[in-house]
Amino acid sequence: MPAAPSRYAAAESPAHASDSLAQRDAEPLIIAAIAAHVGMLLAPARVEFDDGVRVELDGAP
């Protein structure tokens, strides 16, 4: 007998098992909450080190 469809099937991403849509949607909300908590604006920033390594920050003062 085939398994019953999941009641969460509509929420599952058919595109890719590791799709991070939920994380991408939550990111601006999390950054805004942290900014409010610490009392300063946070914005994207790039840090580049002398050896050429770059780090992209989603929320930096």
In this prediction, residue 37 carries a pLDDT of 98
Q: How far apart are CA 22 and CA 1, in angstroms?
A: 33
The answer on pLDDT for 1 being more than 70 is: no
For residue 14, is it within any domain? no
For residue 25, is it within any domain? yes
Place of tokens 């099937």: 9
For residue 1, is it within any domain? no
Retrieve residue 54's tokens: 């770059």
In this prediction, residue 20 carries a pLDDT of 87
- Residue range 5-52, pLDDT digits in tens: 555 455 554 566 677 888 889 999 999 999 999 999 999 999 999 999
What domain range includes position 49?
20-60
Check the CA dihedral 5-7-12-14 and report its sign. Answer: positive
With contact defined as beta carbons under 8 Å apart, do 28 and 22 qualify?
no
Cα-only R_g, the chain: 19
Domain count of the fold of the chain = 1
